[in-house]
Amino acid sequence: MTPAAVQRLIEARGETVTLRRNAIAPFVDVALRARVNGFAPKELVADVMQGDRGVVIGNAEILAAAWPGPPKRGDRLLIDGLPFTIAAVDTRKIGDEVAGHWLVVRGQ
């Protein structure tokens, strides 16, 4: 699999969300496609809590928008207009290229 293939999968099966840096205005936003999933009860381990969501985003839109990435803990993600805080980030590479960012987000 390549980073481009990861991006194509997200675009095909994802939804539009907004990645936001800064919790207080002025915001630095980028709209991007993301795959958003809930967690099964057996996945509620360590710091993952009921109500958290797993989100996969690509890196191409972040680079294209010159957003001050990569995403980090404390950044916000707006899903259907509702704010979520990024609780964890796992940036994954294929070779030397970033394939995407696997996030755990927590609602208000």
Which of 39-48, 60-69, 99-108 has the lowest average pLDDT? 39-48
Q: What is the sign of the dihedral through the CA atoms of 44, 101, 87 and 12?
A: negative
What's the rounded mean pLDDT across residues 44-73?
Answer: 86
- What is the model's pLDDT at position 47? 74
- What is the model's pLDDT at position 9? 87
Q: Tell me the three state secondary structure of residue 62.
A: helix
Both tokens of 85, joined, read: 């805080």
CB atoms under 10 Å from CB of 15, counted, come to 12
What's the rounded mean pLDDT across residues 2-17?
Answer: 89
- What is the model's pLDDT at position 55? 95
Buried b or exposed e, range 64-91, using 16+ CB within 10 angstroms: eeebebebeeebbbbbeeeebbbbebee
The pLDDT mean for the chain works out to 88
